[in-house]
Amino acid sequence: MTNATYTVTGMTCGHCVSSVKEEVGEVVGVTSVEVDLATGLLTVGSDGPVDSALVAAAVKEAGYAVTGPA
């Protein structure tokens, strides 16, 4: 299993976390999604490489921004 960590900005509540988890969870190849509201860290698990642009697009679809890898 491969993990990639990103920093997400703009999240302020549990609903924000749920939105990000839902959108990123739909990216092809993603097997797990963890979001830490306090730190803004998004950890994406997969069985192989996942295009970081797709992850960033999913976060944007949820209404937030990826500022870069953590």
Closest C-alpha among 18, 51, 52, 45 to residue 30: 45
Parallel, antiparallel or unpaired: strands 2-9 and 30-36: unpaired
Read off the CATH number of the domain in which 30 is found.
3.30.70.100
For residue 69, the model assigns a pLDDT of 72
Indicate the pTM of the whole model: 0.93
Overall domain count for the chain? 1
pLDDT band at 70; cut points 50, 70, 90: low
SS3 57: helix
For residue 66, what pLDDT is reported? Answer: 96
Q: What is the average pLDDT across 6-14?
A: 97
Shortest CA distance to 11 belongs to which of 45, 44, 33, 36?
36
Nearest-CA neighbor of 70 among 42, 46, 47? Answer: 42
**How many residues in the chain?**
70
Owning domain of residue 51: 2-69
Question: pLDDT (tens digit, 9 = 90+) per residue, 28-62?
Answer: 999 999 999 999 999 999 999 899 999 999 999 99
